[in-house]
């Protein structure tokens, strides 16, 4: 299901397109002219950072929080973002307006830039920035109503000392391998565990469970991204007087919990009703999951603060 009422369709899926306006470095260009060098280290080595940001009713969701996280990710890998925060924020807004995105998605990418074929990042003189604003492919609506199935991935989450989980890096191969496992099993998601066997995250979302009325989520130190949606959901839960605790979770915890849900930019709040063939709760999204999805929808669409 695609969110949004904008005028664009994607030629990569065999449809006619009217062409997007893409922000490239310092200006908007036509989609056909939005080209990155084959010597860009973002392409050659996955050397860069990105943010995925939602647009609801023409408003960009938690934009400043996303920009702050982008800069933190870049700083952690010693990547100089070639724009100020204010300029980057205004560029995102301009790209959304230029593409008439009312409900959709923004992909903001900063790469190391053009360099040599060697690994040396300091051979790249200037970082590159591009911004895409378009529709987004979401889970089918029945997943939100009835819940989704997941498996435990055999692919282990990157060790935190190899790549800090707080860095939203262009190198997503670790997550992609786990996603392949899910698709091979004919389910939508896979849960990734860290090197110690604790739950880290799903392939693109944060993990929450509910046991005896308490909400638990893994701390970022286990290998989970410090998700923007995760933070919003924790805040909304606290406003509802629900207890939220960060705690190491095991596979056993997922098997015996009362409710299980994921949060993320694309997924928002979505219930998991089966993990590794074991039914979660009564096999339907639970009351806390449904409440938080409703509260998140209202918050995202500006119906409450």
Strands (E) in the chain, as ranges, are 2-3, 21-24, 27-30, 48-56, 59-60, 104-111, 128-134, 136-137, 148-152, 189-193, 199-202, 206-211, 214-217, 244-246, 259-264, 268-275, 278-279
Q: Is 7 a catalytic residue?
A: no
CA distances from 55 to 114, 181, 217 (A): 30, 30, 26
Catalytic residue among 21, 168, 179, 295: 168
Residue with tokens 């893409």: 22
Closest alpha carbon to 138 in 17, 272, 268, 273: 268
* Residue 117 CB-density burial (10 A; 0-12 exposed, 13-18 middle, 19+ buried): exposed
Just list the catalytic residues: 168
């Amino acid at each position: 299901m695609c969110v949004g009422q904008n005028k664009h369709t994607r030629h990569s899926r065999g449809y006619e397109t009217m062409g997007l306006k893409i922000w490239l470095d310092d200006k908007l260009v036509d989609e056909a002219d939005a080209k990155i060098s084959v010597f860009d280290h973002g392409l050659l080595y996955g050397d860069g950072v990105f943010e995925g940001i939602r647009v609801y009713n023409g408003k960009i969701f938690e934009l400043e929080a996303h920009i702050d996280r982008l800069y933190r990710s870049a700083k952690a890998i010693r990547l100089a973002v070639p724009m100020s925060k204010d300029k980057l924020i205004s560029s995102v807004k301009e790209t959304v307006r230029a593409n008439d995105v009312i409900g959709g998605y923004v992909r903001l990418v900063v790469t190391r830039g053009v360099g040599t074929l060697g690994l040396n990042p300091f051979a790249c003189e200037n970082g590159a920035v591009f911004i895409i604003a378009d529709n987004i492919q979401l889970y089918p609506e029945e997943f939100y109503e009835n819940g989704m199935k997941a498996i435990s991935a055999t692919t282990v989450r990157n060790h935190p000392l190899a790549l800090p989980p707080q860095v939203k890096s262009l190198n997503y191969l670790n997550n992609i391998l786990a996603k392949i496992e899910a698709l091979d099993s004919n389910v939508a998601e896979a849960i990734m565990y860290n090197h110690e066997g604790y739950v880290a995250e799903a392939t693109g979302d944060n993990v929450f469970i509910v046991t005896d009325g308490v909400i638990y989520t893994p701390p970022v130190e286990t290998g989970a991204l410090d998700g923007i949606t995760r933070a919003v959901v924790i805040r909304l839960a606290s406003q509802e007087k629900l207890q939220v605790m960060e705690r190491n979770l095991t596979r056993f915890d997922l098997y015996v919990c009362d409710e299980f849900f994921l949060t993320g930019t694309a997924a928002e709040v979505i219930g998991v009703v089966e993990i590794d063939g074991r039914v979660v709760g009564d096999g339907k999204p639970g009351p806390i999951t449904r409440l938080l999805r409703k509260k998140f929808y209202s918050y995202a669409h500006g119906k409450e603060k």
